[in-house]
Structure 1
Amino acid sequence: MKRMLLLALLSLPLHAAELPSAVASQLPQGYEVLSYAAGQLDDSGRTDYLVVIHRANDSSDTPSPRPLLIYTQNADRSFTLAARNDQVVMRADQGGQCDPFEDGDNGLAIKNRYFTVQNGVACGQHWTDYITFHYDAQRHAWLFHKQIFESWEMNDDPNGDALKPGTRKVTSADVAHPIRFEAWRPSDK
């Protein structure tokens, strides 16, 4: 039970002040931490980090790329930048009225070598776009697993829920043509 609680706590997003200095010192110049999560991202059994970075002036008026960096922990407790993708975390201006990454409660989730980037809005429009990757031990790389896009519409029925289902699109990985995390790009909905 204690181990399960510890694993759950390790996958929660953390505050930037808690990011290990061995990771923080490797961040690209001119960027700052927007969000991060700690958990097991590969088969090593050590704590690894997903780190989303952005420019200090990042906003819907001046959107900047939001690279997602994967840092893996080495046996000597140092960290290596293992992979980077500048497309998977949406920019501040890609959510309509709201920031599709920062305005939600979720952001990043890690569980058993899988991780999900959770973009979504619930202001004006209501939609989520969750992109999941998994660690492939044979390739020593993270591969695209699944993307789930869902939207909802306001419901005119006074006896119904406030929202009614809109669009749902699930895109699963093609095992014959795997897509590495670094190469993944958004598709049209």
Structure 2
Amino acid sequence: MNARYIRIDAPDQQMEHWLHNKYCHEKLYLDICNASVPFHNRPKGKELLEDESITYVSVRAIDRLGSNLLDILTTLRHFDNNGIILKVDDLGLESLVVGKPDPTFKLIIGVLANIAEMERKNMQERQREGIERAKAQGVYKGRAKGSKKSKEEILAQYSHVIKRLREGHTLRNTSRLCDVSIGTVQKVKALIK
């Protein structure tokens, strides 16, 4: 069976509907989570790894599988060991050719996975530097220490968490789906009671 794995950062029902329509001939695994969550810890990623009927998986880009080299290579190894072909759309390459690992695919994926990991680290470093510069210039707009948001502000900010909780998701699953801490989910749950 052919499957497509998609990871998006934030819930977007219009996009989810569009994706289901666009890839209606493939079994769709759609995770809503941060790239830093390891593939095997993502709800749909884990489901995909456990689905024994899958023989072919497509992804748009290799960074959809993870943000670090080890995670991506671990997922690729699982696919190889189970005879699952991985196709990376933006490269036009498949991991297995006539049932054997494609060395060109491995080389390119290794390089791209390293670049994705390096870019993520660079982005985090640039963000830290920007915050430090803004603090030094006195224009940092972060929340003041000791300040508190009103109940209404918190509920407005975390409407996606409220939605998932009302759908019956667990605290941990809501945390993963909404890319927030479990403490935040607990706080929102207490406020909506």
TM-score interval, smaller chain: under 0.3
Q: Which one has more relative contact order, counting CA pairs under 8 Å at least 6 apart?
A: 2
Q: Which structure has the greater CA radius of gyration?
A: 2
Task: Give 1 or 2: higher strand fraction.
Answer: 1
TM score, norm. by length of structure 1: 0.22
TM score, norm. by length of structure 2: 0.21
